[in-house]
Amino acid sequence: MRSFVHATNPNRVVFGYGTSAQVRQEVERLGRARALVLGSPPLAALGDRVHEALESLAVARFDGAAMHTPVEVTEQAMELVGEHSVDCVVAVGGGSTTGLAKALAWRTGIDQIILPTTYAGSEVTPVLGETAQGTKMTRSDAAILPETVVYDVEFTLDLPVAMSVTSGINAMAHAVEALYSQQTNPVVDGWALESIRLMGRALPAIAADPADVDARAEALHAAWLAGTCLGLVGMGLHHKLCHTLGGSFDLPHADTHTVVLPYAMAYNAPAAPEVMRRIAEALGTDDAPAGVHDLISSLGGPTSLHQLGMAEQDLGTAAESATAKSYPNPREVTTEGVAALLREAWAGNRPA
């Protein structure tokens, strides 16, 4: 018998195809009437769609969201919030745009409506990572959690296959680490396993046909579940290591998660055999870490830190900074152990 505590995050989720058309009613539902539309230049066309759907409720537009939520960018957007008496943000994009929405909400208390276009999952977590003078700080607070998420499968159809794979594995990493988190419970376990099963099935279908609406819907559903797990329980070695690699060595977020996941799983496997068995079952494979590695390589995803441009001589420093502070993880985290993990990940060897 397991004893547990479970608390859900209070957010509203609208899921479907063409749901972006409902964004005006979602803003009204929150009692808001002055929206700042947030986006980025590559996704300007989707931003335009949302802007039009909001009609007179869109009072300002900011297409400057950037990776790692730099505070200088947030300050620029803050000027628009003041100038236009904005009472909510409507964000269209991946984790970077969601990060900007969260940064504005954290500073002002305004409501957030998020339309995610990747599988990062940030839209359902109360966590904000911001960069100031090159340092990324993370905080968690109920005020950061977006009020409403509008998942529109149509908005993900153009996510390139390579980004779909890395973003999908980023989501899978949230689900994997939730399963061996100290705070997990049977509800979170169920969501995490369902997420892994759906994503493991959706990604090959998306690689075969990026416009496969059913596969896109499964991937987005999996991303939502994985993000929900990330927002409810603490993460372990994999997320800490990716945070260090991304922050200190400027490696791309989703690609880093994709390369590291099989190795972090292999490191933790001896201490979490039942979790690995359940993941392998969800993926229809014999061995979870090798199965994830094989899935990534069959989809043409990155499998080595070397491929991401990391210098071999930086591995030791990375191992030291990733182990400078202790944190919960199923297997004891040692500098030597993480250095060995990183050597394998740098070379891209299939986990044994």
- Rounded to a whole number of angstroms, the minimum distance from the CB of residue 33 to ligand NAD is 28
Phi, psi of 15 (to 5 degrees): -125, 135
The 3 state secondary structure assigned to 70-122 is: EHHHHHHHHHHHHHCCCCEEEEEECHHHHHHHHHHHHHHCCEEEEEECCCCCH
Bridge partner list, 13 = 149
Considering only CA atoms, which of 115, 135, 136, 130 is closest in space to residue 50?
Answer: 115
* Residue 14 or 269 having the CB closest to ligand NAD: 14
Q: What is the crossing angle of helices 95-108 and 71-83, to 10°?
A: 60
Considering only CA atoms, which of 225, 239, 229 is closest in space to residue 328?
Answer: 239
Contact between 268 and ligand NAD by CB under 6 A: the answer reads no
Contact between 70 and ligand NAD by CB under 6 A: the answer reads no
161, 163, 187, 339: which one binds ligand NAD (CB under 6 A) = 163
61, 197, 221, 253: which one binds ligand NAD (CB under 6 A) = 253
- Rounded to a whole number of angstroms, the minimum distance from the CB of residue 70 to ligand NAD is 10
149, 159, 318, 338: which one binds ligand NAD (CB under 6 A) = 159
Q: Rounded to an integer, what distance in angstroms lies between the CA atom of residue 101 and that of residue 145? A: 10
Considering only CA atoms, which of 159, 185, 205, 147 is closest in space to residue 31?
Answer: 147
Quick one: which segment of 22-30, 152-160, 233-241, 308-316 binds ligand NAD (CB under 6 A)? Answer: 152-160
Quick one: which segment of 51-59, 158-166, 279-287, 313-321 binds ligand NAD (CB under 6 A)? Answer: 158-166
- Rounded to a whole number of angstroms, the minimum distance from the CB of residue 341 to ligand NAD is 21
One-letter amino acid for residue 112 of the chain: Q
Contact between 112 and ligand NAD by CB under 6 A: the answer reads no
**Residues from 28 through 57 that contact ligand NAD (CB under 6 A):** 40, 42-43
Q: Rounded to an integer, what distance in angstroms lies between the CA atom of residue 264 and that of residue 242? A: 10
Contact between 71 and ligand NAD by CB under 6 A: the answer reads no
The residues of the shown chain that bind ligand NAD, judged by CB under 6 A, are 40, 42-43, 67-68, 93-97, 99, 117-118, 120-122, 125, 127-129, 155-156, 158-159, 163, 167, 230, 253-254
